[in-house]
Amino acid sequence: MTTTRNNLFEPKLVNNLISKVKGYSTLTKLSKQVPIAFNGNKEFVFSMDKEIDIVAEGGKKSEGGLSLATRVIVPIKVEYGARITDEFLYATEEEKLNILGAFTDGYAKKLAKGIDLMGIHGINPRTGEVSNIINNNDIAHKVTQKTTFNEKDPDTNMEEAIQLVIAAEGDVTGLAMDPSFSSCLAKQKNNNDAGDRLFPELRWGAKPSSINGIPVDIHSTVGNGSKIKAIVGDFENGFKWGYAKQIPFEIIKYGDPDNSGQDLKGHNQIYLRSETYLGWSILEPNHFAIIEKSEG
């Protein structure tokens, strides 16, 4: 990779980056990825209003009806940058690639965490504050079906949440859990004489890929200190995300790009910066349910 200003990550590095993101992010693990254009995507949600109709020979046909809604996936620009010594400029190509590989790996982790914090909680990952740019396009604000967390009986919580999704004619294709909820499930015992654990596969902080046939991901970003303990629903069809394929990468040699008040040249530093355009949409909010802690 040529280390000049305003490069794009090579396709191989981009694929590696997104592959790592899928490994670190709950939302990207459980949901579908779609290509995102810089000016956004428009997704159509169809709903057939009635059931199919039997028509006798020569009989009259009636209208079934169709409801059509649109969901727009507008990409949001996110960035991450870091100062390093300008010795990077004089390193061998192999050393430069090692540094860039480490930067890409770290950026993938931050990007993955950021997708969860933005898509679930609607916050700016760096400040932790609700973002006006996201504008409530997140699970915490969009999903209204909720059940109250019971620390002693989280299994019943799951049944309640799943029934909310099924009642809305949704499919349960995924479960996102905060570690605290997973821990409660791991402690829950059967009412039989032996007092067996209901979910032994969750003991000791284990992270199985599925429970009772439902794909599962356990991550601290699900709760992130909020009331949310778990999210269940149709992640596969009801939530879509994607990124614009061009991921700019800069090696900045001059100025104060992070507004720290320190000139790069004056401190023998350079600045590495990468930007990504991400977008997501909650296509069917009523096909999700949240288990959350009560107030107080």
Percent of the chain with pLDDT over 90: 55
25 in any annotated domain: yes
62 in any annotated domain: no
CATH number at residue 77: 3.90.1690
Give the residue numbers spanning the domain of 27. Answer: 7-47+70-292
94 in any annotated domain: yes
Count structural domains, the chain. 1
155 in any annotated domain: yes
Which of 10-19, 28-37, 161-170, 184-193: highest mean pLDDT? 161-170
Phi/psi for 74 (5° steps) reads: -105, 125
Taking only the tens place, the pLDDT of each residue in 254-291 is 999 999 999 999 999 999 998 888 999 999 999 999 99
Taking only the tens place, the pLDDT of each residue in 212-229 is 999 999 999 999 999 999
64 in any annotated domain: no
63 in any annotated domain: no
84 in any annotated domain: yes
Q: In terms of pLDDT, which residue wins out, 294 or 61?
A: 294
Q: What is the mean pLDDT of the chain?
A: 87
2 in any annotated domain: no
What is residue 203's DSSP assignment?
G
pLDDT at 105 over 80: yes
DSSP secondary structure letters along 200-269:
GGGGGG---SEETTEEEEE-HHHHTTSSEEEEEE-HHHHEEEEE-S--EEEEE-SS-TT-SS--TGGGTE
Per-residue model confidence (pLDDT) at position 99: 84
Say how far residue 13 (Cα) sits from the centre of its chain.
21
- Predicted structure pTM score: 0.84
> Quick one: pLDDT band at residue 3, thresholds 50, 70, 90?
very low
Per-residue model confidence (pLDDT) at position 168: 94
Per-residue model confidence (pLDDT) at position 2: 39
Mean pLDDT of 17-43: 81
Mean pLDDT of 198-219: 93
> Quick one: pLDDT band at residue 37, thresholds 50, 70, 90?
low
